Chain A
Amino acid sequence: MTAPSRLPKPPSGGLRTLSWRRQALYQGLCLFIALTVLFPIFWVVSLALDPRDISRPDGLSIIPPGASLQHFISAVEEPTSNPVTFWQLALNSFILAIGTSLFSVAIGVFAAYAFSRVRFRARSVLMLAVLAVLMLPAVATIAPLFILLNQVKIGDFNLRQSLVGVGLAVVSGLLPFAIWNLKGYLDTIPKDLEEAAFVDGAGRTQAFLRVILPLAIPALAVTAFLGFVAGWTEFYFSVTFLNDPQSFTLSVALNGMVGQFATTTPWGKFSAFAILFALPVSLVYIVFQRWIVGGLAVGGVKG
């Protein structure tokens, strides 16, 4: 795990190596923790591999007897009874998740910078407005958002019934979070750096783009990642707004599978689908792990 280079590197602490007994003890602890973390995941994997459609694994084994990939195949071949392929669902999920996260980060970072650096009269009021939005749950905004987005109709295109509309509904909650999160991080970047840039003759915008943004990459990564997860897992607006199966997302299909009042949950297929659903997010995390963790880790430290 690398800390950003501008912090003083702690000297590599003495050549203290652990006695094997201690090492074993600590490794044992780590293993125990890992088991608690992994247990529910093993549970899901076991249900996904089990050819019978049972609601809980029979024994406590990860690979049940007779394990097969049929649930995965069935999840991919027919995710819902509506005419849409698994790949279309996945594509829509990606578009929604990436679109909303990039959009909110891109716009949010500018606003965050202004809040962080520039003193202007309305600053505290507007910042308060952003904070207020973060704490006001949007539970009952489904009706006004529905009406609002329904107003935009261009020919055959109804904004509310499109992924763009759903994306906007998601952004409505994501953008304030992005601004708040990024501002907090930008606050920790010393202002001397821009000073140096101004001395060199750079304008405000240039200083921002050339000096600050690169330093803010960990925070951008974290915010983008959290935005991605939010867009990926969002289903409430999608189910309520969307009518065309071609614009459904994986999340919609997954939530449709959770049996409620008078239907049973197809556990095998659900678990397989859940694994396929969680995989991309995990992959994105692994690929961008370094920056994401860096962004989370350095948040509060100044100096």
Chain B
Amino acid sequence: MRICSALLVPGFILPFTSSAATASLDGRAQTVFSSVKGSVLQIRTLLKGSQSQNSIGSGFYVSDDGLVITNYHVVSSYALEPEIYEMAYVDAKGGRGSLTLLAVDVLHDLALLQLKGSKLQNLPFHPGRAARGEKLFSFGNPNDLGLVIVEGVNNGLREHSFYDSIHFTGAINPGMSGGPVVNQAGELVGVNVATMGESRGFLVPAQFAQALLAQRKKEPVAPATFQAEITRQLVQHSSTLIARLMKKPLPVQIDGGYTVPDAADPYMQCWANETTDTKLLFNVRTNSCQGSSDVYVGQGIEMGSVLFQSMLYQSDKLDSFRFARVLQRAYGQNDGFGQDSQRKHYTKFECTDSALDLNGMPAKAALCTRAYRKFKGLYDFSLRVVSLRESKRALVTRLSLKGVSYDDGMRMARHYMEALKWKG
């Protein structure tokens, strides 16, 4: 039962500070609850032919002709493999029925469904944007425990986020994904999408749901399968992502005379550390930059992630042969492409490697890439470079890209390599 996939970025795990939202259900909340509850549904994806659920989430009714909004990730297994899964809903009164997928917005994690059967109460959209500090109410069905209302506060747009996302301080839990978040007037402000735990929740702003509805009006015919549409959106994500990274020369820090790639866009964050193991005969300073641009595509597949990782190795205790071995281990490390590698999704890696003259600096580099079998035109890239200018100091740096088009991957690899220089 995955839902509300937590977007946990390394280094984000901060000390426990906030308290769980104490839902003081005052008269306002009671009014909101009674006005909204009739619009909320539980959405299940089931393995075809069995009544066992693959995932559960929430959704809500937005128009009189039976349209329902939820998160894309609630219905992703159906969207990718409609031959294996089917969708069903349970409404607040216990009414059940089936659902049809009409449109998806993978990048903002939204899906539009058509409900057959019950006629529910329509949830109105809030005109404009909700103000920071405003009290909001989130609805959903956490862990299949029944419909709940959670009180929280709008903390404005999330920082370092690739696409706009509302930071909601309130307890969103698995199963509430796709549920509506309304203001005190009972108007839709956002859609539950993710949590980092400790009351740090995130919402898709309602305007994206509205855009999906408007898009639907323009193209009323739903495609038979969504594979191609999902791929198209991901290719678009790739080009937006890489274009943003390539707007200007890659920013760098200078460390030990070497350029170390740094955050190239506000959505990227960098974390640095240095080895503290005193028994090591060498020293490493690591700088990793990661962007919160990952898009959840399906079980085990997240695309659009960017990682820069640079390690400056230095030693005055090791001779050049043993120092080179230390570099070899870093250069040969597999970097996070290992997990969840399913044959149905990925081809194997193809690589090229060579000694390089990198802007006047001797180096060695390897570039490996693999294709997504079902998302034609999307690839993972792993570029690694080790400098070979000095015998006791070297930079080992890596660029990892997941789910980008080949051209975008190649352009970014060039952009990254062009930034690597010796400036001592």
A associates with B: no
What residues make up the interface of B, taking CB atoms closer than 8 Å to A?
Answer: none
